Chains A and B, each alone.
Chain A
């Protein structure tokens, strides 16, 4: 039997690692992977709550979130490739056209 608390703690730590990765990495690909990690932490919470409230909705929504994550990765990677073609870099702090 898994307690809800263990799941919440793990998913909270995963989410924190994801945020830290988004903030500290320079490579846009790794930033995208960190966003995926945060979505997965949210999924873990959905499933834990589905299990502990006895409702199937959480699992259904986790499946929908998985689909959104796939769409997001497709668009994000296309953006990275387009950026690489145009600016020859995938480092997020080299992309500062809008910086004043």
Chain B
């Protein structure tokens, strides 16, 4: 039993990754839009688990908050607003589905063939480090949120500020697009 639990603990990433793939397949395969959203939610939660397995604790929790807490709820709202009211959709998949699947599978095979060294090579993981002046008084390996914030607010302050402007523009744009003609 202990051996079993230990095996699971060592393969946490693979388990979460495979479950994320299952969720993604459910998302693109199910006929009902609600089921698709639930598959999306399942995939996002499992990707958060992958982040945790990769020792990015802050990002794992942020993933759960942003996706499961915000984006999935937004999608559910719009699905219920749009889908439920009118007639059922007839065909779920596009006419060119067969060719699209073949093309994606072919592209994936080509990609794997070209990058098989990068994907199946064997690099070793390294511990996270910061510039010495940033890492002062911080245990970088064990304080993930603090390490990320010091990197973000020192080296990447400008992208961060630009992101805040983009979020503002998106907010205004979404309101303008979604509001009705007559006010």
Nearest to B145 among chain A residues (CB) is A59
In the docked arrangement, what's the CA distance between A90 and B71, Å?
A: 19
In the assembled complex, which residues on chain B have CB atoms less than 8 Å from the CB atom of A27?
A: 33, 36, 89, 92
Interface size grouping (class) on chain A: 35 or more
In the docked arrangement, what's the CA distance between A73 and B158, Å?
A: 23
Q: B7 in the interface, Cβ–Cβ < 8 Å?
A: no
Q: B8 in the interface, Cβ–Cβ < 8 Å?
A: no
Q: B86 in the interface, Cβ–Cβ < 8 Å?
A: yes
Least CB distance, A72 to chain B, in whole angstroms: 7
Least CB distance, A94 to chain B, in whole angstroms: 10
Q: A95 in the interface, Cβ–Cβ < 8 Å?
A: no
Verify A24–B56 contact, CB threshold 8 A: no
From A21, A47, A91, contact of B56 by CB (8 A): A47
In the assembled complex, which residues on chain A have CB atoms less than 8 Å from the CB atom of B147?
A: 56, 59
Verify A25–B82 contact, CB threshold 8 A: no
Residues of B within 8 A of A (CB): 10, 13-14, 17-18, 20-21, 24-25, 27-28, 33, 36-37, 40, 43-44, 47, 50-51, 53-56, 58-59, 62-63, 66-67, 70-71, 74-75, 78-79, 81-83, 86, 89, 91-97, 100-101, 103-105, 107-108, 111-112, 118-130, 140, 144, 147-148, 150-152, 155-156, 159-160, 163, 166-167, 169-171, 173-175, 177-178, 180
From B53, B56, B120, contact of A50 by CB (8 A): B56
Binary CB contact string for chain A from 82 to 93 against chain B (1 if under 8 A, 0 otherwise) = 101100101111
From A33, A60, A67, A82, contact of B177 by CB (8 A): A82
The dominant DSSP class at the B interface is helix
Least CB distance, B36 to chain A, in whole angstroms: 5
In the docked arrangement, what's the CA distance between A4 and B123, Å?
A: 7
Q: Which of B14, B74, B78, B140 has the most CB of A within 10 A?
A: B78
Verify B125–A4 contact, CB threshold 8 A: yes
From B78, B86, B163, contact of A67 by CB (8 A): B163
From B18, B121, B156, B167, contact of A60 by CB (8 A): B156
From B44, B71, B82, B121, contact of A84 by CB (8 A): B82
Nearest to B86 among chain A residues (CB) is A88
